[in-house]
Structure formats: structure tokens, C-alpha cells
Chain A
């Protein structure tokens, strides 16, 4: 007898037109009768085919799969599987801007087919096989004559506000998206943006004046303008204006400590080449289907895993490194490498309703292979983390681990110790190996030529300490 494991997706509860559920590890979308008319128009009008052709929407097939809940069900569809779900607060500037471009392109195309995008949440977009795609097939509804675009405010909060803050104030403000699940409040964005942004027509209109209108125009009595008609051409004008606003925002990654890391490292050319060969050989031994590279920088070593077929996430704390990596991935059309932002000492928590709407960093694992190259000294010396805690956390993230031990004599460690009191007397390879042995079996240990560093391949298991 087969046991059916099925569950409604934790983040799928807002739209009455349908919801996502999983059954035996496969995701399905149940469309309710209330969404039938819009869905049928979406499919028959040719809009679905056009969006698939343009690579803007996740492909799906209609199935005879029984619904999760038969009440009110119209149909069950099976979307193509997206193997890794990232959150907008983990995206670099260009990733968010590409998603914004996709949202506006979707609305423009939908209007050509008598439809409109009814919501513009950044969470509905994912990086899938090298492209930004919309996951929510039910985001389209038939356009109602003479109505404004219902997703306007959401677009401004989810895309325009964070992009403006990242571009005009500080790129790290993209992480505000983690605090504000429905996008950054426009009044907050308006207060944080510098005065010069008031002289940009599009930012003035869509952000600053929009923010003020939200409080000034909201009242108990209906505003005289509330019932006025909006010509479709005017909606196109607004979308066109938003496109101009997004294109005018830019950010150039340069000069951060990490983005320049490989030009400042103490590796000789031979040492660096050999390290690449050693890591490649260890990856071949694991032959992973999924990999996470922690502290990946611009993804030099992550590529060794993605080139071998593993869906690889290149996590890094530095927005400039992630941005460079993403631009490179995009220009090469790489479908297996996904660069994302992560502060490993304060990783993305579970957030949203009841702590379950958006999965934490660790909840999206475990993966086949975790890579932690030139990272241990930053965790232990840079962040006062004991070896055993590092071992325990890494063991939960993946089944195999490639980790590089960087000894005290290494110039990178000396650089860290130069600016802090040396309380790290226990920082040694012997102590590292002893702590790791509680959670891992060591399969290989290889010194890296021209350095005093050692590469380890380990396999995680139950704690023995």
C-alpha cells in the first residue's frame, strides 16, 4: 500500500482563485471555480503561449490528478519544478531589477490580450534555469474596463522602492525586504532617499508623491476621484513610466573587500590552480546533484560544481561579489548556478505568517554537497564561533562537505589577528579535526601546494560526542 504524503503549501493561502499543494514530493496547483473564467481566458487568448515563448512564466501541464480539496475545485495543474526557492532579500541588485523588468513586461503583454497582472509580489518570481520567471499562473485576470492597475502599489513597494534605495542610498538596504513581507512602505523609502531623487520625475511621481498620497488621500469618506474612469492608454503610460524609472536605476559593484578578494589573496598561481584541481577532484568523488558554496565570493569554485551538473547556489555576504557573479551567470546563460546573498553568521530566518510562510536558509537544505573554502577562519576568528558549533551547523546543511582549513600562520589569518586580541589559542588543525570528527567521517585530506592549507572531504553522520 502506498502512503500519500500531501500538504497545502505554507505560503499559498492568499488567493481565493487557487493554491499550491504537494503530493508525494510533486507540486500541483489547484484552481478553484472562482478562478475558472480568468484561467480559461488566459489559456485560450494565447497569452499563456506567448509568455512561455518569451520565457516569462513557469510552464505547466493540465493533469487529471485528484484535487487536494474537492470543494470548489475546477482543475489541477502541474507546474514545472523549480528546484530552489530564493527570497527577494537574498537577491543582488540586478536580480531584483530583472524581476521588476519581468513584472512590467508581463503586465504589458497581458494588456495586449485583454488581461492584467493582478498582483506584483516579488515572491512570485524565481530564478529558474538562468531566467527570472513568474511562478504564479493565477496572477492574471481579465482586464476590467476603465480601472487602474491593481498591482501598481505592490509593484512600487516590492520593486521600485528597494531598487531606488539600493541604487541611491546603499545596496545593503535590499535586505529591508526581509522585514517588510509586502514590500517596503513607500513613506519609509521616501524618507530614506536623498533630496536629489525628488528631481527625478519618475521617482518623484511613483515614489515620493505616491507615498504622500497614501496617507493624504485615504479617509473615511470616498474621494471625489475614486469613481473616475482610467483609460487603458493611461495604464500603459503608468507602466511605461515605471519601466523608465527602473531603467534609470543602476548600481556598479566595485571596490568592496570581497569583490576584490582574488586580487588580494596570498595564493601563488600554482597554488590557486592546484586548489581548483583538488576541489574538482573531490566534487567528482561526490558527484552531487545539489550543492551550496558558502562564502562563494564571485563563484570561481562554485562553477566547478555547476559545470559538473550540480544545481549550485553560490552564497556570499558581499552584494558586490553576488552582483558580479550574477552578471557573469546571466551573460553566459548558465542554468545551474544561482548566486545569492547570505550572512552565514545571521542566515535568513523563517519568516512570514506563523514563521512558516518563507523557509529559512537551513530549511531549504540539506543538499548533496556543501563547500566551505577559505571560510573557517572567518567564522572562528572573525566571529568567535567555536569549532564544534561550526561543525554542528554544517552537518545539518549537507550530506558531504568540502572544507578548507586555514592555519594560524596563513597571511589571511594573520590579517584577522592583527586587529583583534588573540584569544584563539585553541585555533589549530588538530582541534579543528577533533571537532569535525564528532559530526563527520573524513574521506580525504589533501594539503594545497605552496600554502599551509588543507582541503578535507567529509561525510556527515549522527553526532558521536
Chain B
């Protein structure tokens, strides 16, 4: 999580590179996968940061309400578990 946040700050200029999003006509012969791949790399930092904030906020709320973390013995402990994956 800390890594994600520090990565966010170092890549803000990259994120600002979103200025490419001025509309241009799509060329049907260009493989959209290439642009999609690069787009994901660029916005990943933003989404990673938002996700880290969301987890911190959840932990803060859990701390205030005294709620415990779900039992992690249900399956092998994982380094960065995803809350939406829990049933």
C-alpha cells in the first residue's frame, strides 16, 4: 500500500499525460489493444492510489467501530488480499 502511494506521487506527471485524451477519430486498422495496454499502465497508478485510500478508510472505520478483520484462516493467507473477493 505504501509502495502504491509513493508510486502515485512519483507518477503524477505521467498521470497528467492524460492530455492525450483530446478526441481524435478512431482508425479501425489500429489495434486498440496497444493503446488500451498503455492506458492501463498510466491510470493504474491513479486507481492503485484510490484503492489504497479506500482500504485505509475501511481500516479507520473498523478501528472506530471496533470491528475485527475477517478470519484469515479460511484459506491460505495472502500478502495483499482483496476485500471484494471475500464472501
B-contacting residues of A (Cβ < 8 Å)? 46, 50, 54, 104-105, 108-109, 111-113, 148-149, 152-153, 156, 185-187, 205, 209-218, 223, 225-226, 228, 230-241, 243
Inter-chain contacts of B27 with A (CB < 8 A): 215
A50: chain B residues at CB < 8 Å are 75
The answer to whether B41 and A54 have CB atoms under 8 Å apart is: no
The proximity string for B residues 53-83 relative to A, scoring 1 for CB distances below 8 Å and 0 otherwise, is: 0100000000000000000000110101110
User: What is the CA–CA distance of A112 and B45 in the complex, to the nearest angstrom?
Assistant: 20
- Cβ–Cβ contact A212 & B40, under 8 A: no
Contact present for A216 and B21 (CB under 8 Å): yes
Least CB separation from A223: chain B residue: B38
Quick one: closest B residue to A212, CB to CB?
B21
Is chain B's interface secondary structure helix, strand, loop, or mixed overall? Answer: helix
CB 8 Å contact bits of B1-22 with A (1 = contact, 0 = none) = 1011001000100100110111
* B18 near A218: Cβ-Cβ < 8 Å: no
Contact B35–A218 (Cβ < 8 Å):
yes
C-alpha gap A108/B81 in the complex (Å): 9
Verify A108–B84 contact, CB threshold 8 A: yes
Q: Smallest Cβ distance from A228 to chain B, in angstroms? A: 5
Contact B20 A236 (CB under 8 A): no
Q: Quick check: A226 and B35 within 8 Å, CB to CB?
A: no
User: B residues bordering A, Cβ < 8 Å?
Assistant: 1, 3-4, 7, 11, 14, 17-18, 20-27, 30-52, 54, 75-76, 78, 80-82, 84-85, 87
CA distance A156 to B40 in the complex (A): 12
Q: In the complex, are the beta carbons of B52 and A233 less than 8 A apart?
A: yes
| Other-chain contact of B36, A46, A152, A237, A240 (Cβ < 8 Å) | A152
- Partner among A218, A238, A243 whose Cβ is within 8 Å of the Cβ of B32: A218
From residue A382, how far is it (CB to closest CB) to chain B in Å?
38
> Please, which residues of chain A bring their CB within 8 A of the CB of B23?
212
A105 and B85 contact, Cβ closer than 8 Å, known pairs A50-B75, A152-B40, A237-B47: yes
Residue in contact with B39 in the complex, picked from A105, A185, A209, A233, CB distance below 8 Å? A209
Interchain residue pairs A-B with the least CB separation, the first 10? A234-B48, A237-B47, A237-B51, A213-B39, A234-B44, A108-B85, A153-B36, A214-B35, A217-B35, A214-B32
A108, A113, A216, A238: the one contacting B47 at CB < 8 Å is: A238
Is the Cβ of A215 less than 8 Å from the Cβ of B26?
yes
Whole-angstrom distance between the Cβ of B56 and the nearest chain A Cβ: 12
Q: Which residues of A contact B81 (CB under 8 A)?
A: 112
A308→B11 CA distance, assembly (Å) = 61
Instruction: Give 11 pairs: A residue, B residue, CB < 8 Å, sorted on A.
Output: A153-B32, A210-B36, A211-B26, A212-B21, A213-B36, A216-B21, A216-B35, A228-B41, A233-B48, A234-B48, A240-B47
Looking across the interface, which residue of chain A has its beta carbon closest to that of B37?
Answer: A148
Q: Is the CB of B51 within 8 A of A213?
A: no
Q: Tell me, rounded to whole Å, the shortest Cβ–Cβ distance linking A38 to chain B.
A: 19
**Contact check: which of B20, B25, B43 meets A238 at CB < 8 Å?**
B43
Q: Are B82's CB and A217's CB within 8 A?
A: no
Using known A-B contacts A205-B43, A217-B20, determine if residue A226 contacts B32 with beta carbons closer than 8 Å. no
**CB of A266, distance to nearest CB on chain B (Å):** 48
**A235–B32 contact, CB under 8 A?**
no
Q: Is the CB–CB distance between A112 and B78 below 8 Å?
A: yes
A112 to B42, CA, bound (A): 24
Nearest Cβ distance between residue A123 and chain B, in whole angstroms? Answer: 18
In the complex, are the beta carbons of B42 and A225 less than 8 A apart? yes
Q: Chain A's nearest CB lies how many Å from the CB of B39? A: 4
B26 touches A214 (CB 8 A): yes
